[in-house]
Amino acid sequence: GAVVSQHPSWVICKSGTSVKIECRSLDFQATTMFWYRQFPKQSLMLMATSNEGSKATYEQGVEKDKFLINHASLTLSTLTVTSAHPEDSSFYICSVGGEETQYFGPGTRLLVL
């Protein structure tokens, strides 16, 4: 299966600042990656689909200007949380569509103070 990494694994930032999270597909060239968000004790919610070389597509209710996604290569997608606020504190997880199924990264814990 695909091996997926994320960086950083956790980040603490001040309210109003921007945070960039990287998702890398280490052994698979991914034209599509997905970004999910997970609040404590809850399930994963799909935020957006990251498409290599084109614009991301966002799920209903997800602000595209707040959650900027860039998929500049077949192995890297980035999610930037702009002007972060405490309510953006969450666990952000990316996934890669491998040859047969979806594989997930280890997640990034974001805490906005």
Partner 1 sequence: GESVGLHLPTLSVQEGDNSIINCAYSNSASDYFIWYKQESGKGPQFIIDIRSNMDKRQGQRVTVLLNKTVKHLSLQIAATQPGDSAVYFCAETGYDSWGKLQFGAGTQVVVTP
Contacts to partner 1 by CB under 8 A: 1, 4, 6, 32, 34, 39, 41-46, 49, 61, 93, 95, 97, 100-107, 109
Least gap, CB of 72 to partner 1 (angstroms): 19
Q: Which is nearer to partner 1, 4 or 79 (CB)?
A: 4
Structure-token match 């698979």, residue found = 28
Least gap, CB of 66 to partner 1 (angstroms): 15
Sequence-ordered list of residues with C-beta below 8 angstroms from that of 112, at least 6 positions apart, any chain: 12, 13, 14, 15, 84, 85, 86, 87, 88, 89
Using CA atoms of 50, 6, 16, 55 in order, give the dihedral in degrees to the nearest 10.
-10
Q: Which is nearer to partner 1, 19 or 35 (CB)?
A: 35
SS3 93: strand
Least gap, CB of 70 to partner 1 (angstroms): 19
Least gap, CB of 83 to partner 1 (angstroms): 19
Sequence-ordered list of residues with C-beta below 8 angstroms from that of 60, at least 6 positions apart, any chain: none
Q: Which is nearer to partner 1, 1 or 16 (CB)?
A: 1
Q: Which is nearer to partner 1, 38 or 80 (CB)?
A: 38
CA pair distance 68, 56, nearest whole angstrom: 9
